[in-house]
Amino acid sequence: MDIFLQQLINGLVLGSVYALVALGYTMVYGILELINFAHGEITMMGAMVALAVIGALALAAPGLPGVLVLGAGLVVAIPVCMALGLLIERVAYRPLRHAPRLAPLITAIGVSIILQNIAMLIWGKQYIPFPDVLPQGRHEVLGAAITDVQIAILLLTMSIMLMLILVVQKTRLGRAMRATAQSRQVASLMGVDVNRVIASTFVIGSALAAVAGVMVSAYYGLAHYYMGFLLGLKAFSAAVLGGIGNLGGAMLGGLLLGLIESFGAGYIGDLTGGFLGSHYQDVFAFFVLIAVLVFRPSGLLGARVVERA
Amino acid sequence: MSSVLSLNKTQPHWLVFGLLALGLALLPFLVDAGLGRSWVRLLDLALLYVMLALGLNIVVGYAGLLDLGYVAFYALGAYVYAWLASPHFGLHLPFWAILPLGAGLAGLFGVLLGTPTLRLRGDYLAIVTLGFGEIVRIFMNNLNTPVNLTNGPQGINLIDPVRLGGVSLSQPHTLFGFTFSGVHLTYYLFLLLTLAVIFISMRLENSRIGRAWVAIREDEIAAAATGINTRNLKLLAFAMGATFGGLAGGLFASFQGFISPESFNLMESIMILCMIVLGGMGHIPGVIFGALLLTLLPEALRYTGDWQRNLFGQIYVDPADLRMLLFGLALVAVMLYRPAGLIPSARRRQEFADAKG
């Protein structure tokens, strides 16, 4: 029972981070039908920038409370990622909006190679440990342990998602986003500045990615210039799992994927009699992805996609 | 005058062929003399990538099925070769027996992957194939227990070099007073196979099958309505592409003498896709050019260290670190200025002009 509960907690925490990144993929895909391959790298950039700020602050002013230092890291990382998202959309995607579908995919790959290598040149190839500013508290809940970091991640992601839903459902910008997602042409006829809406989508998605990057590096205690790749891949799987283009789907997909991974890694050894070990953890994301796409290509919450003539 | 020119365009003069053949035959010697032995090796590798790119071109370029897990078939071919010709299982079967086996097995896996994904299209297919590629890689990484199949991340070592008749391609041989080193001989073998792949691709392109693939790519529903068996033809595209991938994999294993899961990651799949898109999808000269460019460009960018020294008097950034950055920039720049590829086919150029207008 305690193992079950522990895996549940781990899965939920991991899943909420996946969900945060998945939201960025799903928003962009919903509007542009573009897989923004560079999104994982933006997450990585957020983690790296925040870590640099936190490290510098921890050195300069060792007396500051951890929460403040962490907040400072986020405050710097979020605008940096927003600017990056804006720049990438402007330079690499907007000129190709009417190009063959594969062209923006290639530039997206190019951009993620560029970001990875910039990060490598700045911060080096080694793993960067998370500075020692995090609260170390652990709480026992029914025989399972939950750390302060995990609680913070859960609370923060939940509140961010709530905010995002409010923005998309209640504000003018949100309405414009939904209209653009339905039809770019008609939205622009109704007076929506489509270019601005698309740019805002990238900016919002990048801000979420920055927060997720900081969280994931805090959770694992390290950051690395290559960390965005697998994270991005899994988050995209989560978005597809939930039904790409659907915000609720991305959240659900992220949580589910986190749970599947953590339960899968926890129980695969017992289920196969020790034949397969927990190092197969990364396989689950892809198996689930393939199964969902083959049996329900529109994802769990996605609308049935009608074949376009 | 114009009639002569147009004749030349449809039926190239034998002289052109002769010069081309001579050029290709002499190329390794010229490269060896001019740039050094390591570049001949690179030339071999470039030919390997031409084969891979042409194989993926059948799936992506002709049939329009975006496959991001292509490297799985490449890996399969390589591992089959490694299993049957290395001390790993103590088997040492001859080269000509394994290569078709690996290619055939890869083709079979192509059908296996293709069958469940027939209903998917576009980006969804891309993601499923991507997942498939990653699964294969993770299994390669972990199948060293309980039965040691792949030797895990360490990979399989001491794979037999190619041996044709009594000639091993790992040692130099003297013929007509010329000494051919191993990489030179490998070049000729790879060149021969590459030419075969190019020939098959060309014949496919202008065949009933090739035209059916293009029809599926342009509009699957319309293609089915005109009586094309879309299911079988899509499976055939997967199988053909995978077969070429398996072939290249076997050659890669014998050429390197060592394989590990590292060589078959997603980046590799993406690289091969980039070759096609950058060169010009569905257009054989474009694909060949793209493959050569993307294999040789990162190596050429190693020389940025010399440029830095000449310009600033010292090396600021390690060229090995810088080259991938420049590579990414080049990828973006080419797509921005030539979104249909560097050498697009007439049809795609037309399509793009239409989309813009």
B221 φ, ψ to 5°? -65, -45
Nearest CA-CA distance, residue A281 and chain B, Å: 10
CA B297 to chain centre: 15
Q: Give a yes or no: residue A200 inside a domain.
A: yes
Nearest CA-CA distance, residue A134 and chain B, Å: 33
In which band, very low, low, confident or very high, does the pLDDT at A252 lie, cut at 50, 70 and 90? very high
Find which of A36, A94, A282, A293 to mutate to test the B interface (most B CBs within 10 Å of its CB): A293
Q: Is B44 helix (H, G, I), strand (E, B) or coil?
A: helix
Which has more confidence, A251 or B180? A251
Going by the DSSP 8-state scheme, the letter that residue A262 receives in this structure is H
Residue B132 CB neighbour total at 10 angstroms? 25
Asked if the C-beta of B335 comes within 8 angstroms of chain A's C-beta atoms, the answer is: yes
Q: Sort B175 into a burial class: Cβ within 10 Å, 0-12 / 13-18 / 19+.
A: exposed
Q: How many domains does chain A have?
A: 1
Note the helical H segments in B115-166: 122-142
Interface contact flag, A117 B221, Cβ < 8 Å: no
Going by the DSSP 8-state scheme, the letter that residue B117 receives in this structure is G
Q: Give a yes or no: residue A307 inside a domain.
A: no
Q: Give a yes or no: residue A41 inside a domain.
A: yes
Listed residue (A90, A84, A14, A75) closest to A45, CA to CA: A84
B156 φ, ψ to 5°? -105, 130
Going by the DSSP 8-state scheme, the letter that residue B95 receives in this structure is H
- Which residues in chain A have their CB less than 8 angstroms from residue B120's CB? 293-294, 297
> What does the pLDDT look like over B85-127, one tens digit per residue?
888 787 888 878 888 999 999 999 999 888 888 877 677 787 7
Kindly state the helix (H) or strand (E) to which residue B91 belongs, with its residue range.
Answer: strand B91-92
Q: Give a yes or no: residue A51 inside a domain.
A: yes
- Which residues in chain A have their CB less than 8 angstroms from residue B356's CB? 98
Q: Within chain B, how many helices (H) and strands (E) appear?
A: 15, 6
Nearest CA-CA distance, residue A97 and chain B, Å: 10
Interface contact flag, A116 B324, Cβ < 8 Å: yes
Cα distance between residue A89 and residue B109, in whole Å: 38
**Contact between A105 and B60 (Cβ < 8 Å):** no
Nearby residues of B334 by Cβ (< 8 Å), 6 or more positions away:
B278, B342
CA B2 to chain centre: 37
Nearby residues of B327 by Cβ (< 8 Å), 6 or more positions away:
A113, B297, B298, B301
Every domain of chain B and the residues it spans: 34-266
End-to-end CA distance of chain B: 34
Q: Give a yes or no: residue A295 inside a domain.
A: no
Q: Give a yes or no: residue A70 inside a domain.
A: yes
Listed residue (A222, A218, A56, A227) closest to A127, CA to CA: A222
> What does the pLDDT look like over A45-84, one tens digit per residue?
999 999 999 988 888 877 778 788 888 899 999 999 999 9
> With 50 as the cut, is the pLDDT of residue B4 above it?
no
- Which residues in chain B have their CB less than 8 angstroms from residue A120's CB? 321
Asked if the C-beta of B357 comes within 8 angstroms of chain A's C-beta atoms, the answer is: no
Q: C-alpha distances in angstroms, A196 versus A191, A203, B53, B292?
A: 12, 10, 38, 40
Interface contact flag, A237 B274, Cβ < 8 Å: no
Kindly state the helix (H) or strand (E) to which residue A14 belongs, with its residue range.
Answer: helix A2-32
CA B6 to chain centre: 32
Range of the domain at A34: 16-227
The ipTM value here is 0.81
Interface contact flag, B325 A117, Cβ < 8 Å: yes
Nearby residues of A38 by Cβ (< 8 Å), 6 or more positions away:
A88, A92, A108, A111, A112, A115
Cα distance between residue B151 and residue B144, in whole Å: 5
Mean pLDDT, rounded, of chain B: 82
Asked if the C-beta of A91 comes within 8 angstroms of chain B's C-beta atoms, the answer is: yes
- Which residues in chain A have their CB less than 8 angstroms from residue B280's CB? none
Of B138, B324, B356, which is closest to A282 when you measure between CB atoms? B138
Of B120, B124, B135, which is closest to A283 when you measure between CB atoms? B135
Nearest CA-CA distance, residue B339 and chain A, Å: 6
- Region A117-137: mean pLDDT is 84
**Contact between B140 and B264 (Cβ < 8 Å):** yes
Structure tokens at B146: 């309980």
**Contact between B273 and B133 (Cβ < 8 Å):** no
Which has more confidence, B7 or A202? A202
> What does the pLDDT look like over B270-292, one tens digit per residue?
889 888 888 888 889 999 999 99
Residue A166 CB neighbour total at 10 angstroms? 11
Q: C-alpha distances in angstroms, B49 versus B53, B286, B294, B326?
A: 6, 13, 9, 20
Interface contact flag, A237 B221, Cβ < 8 Å: no
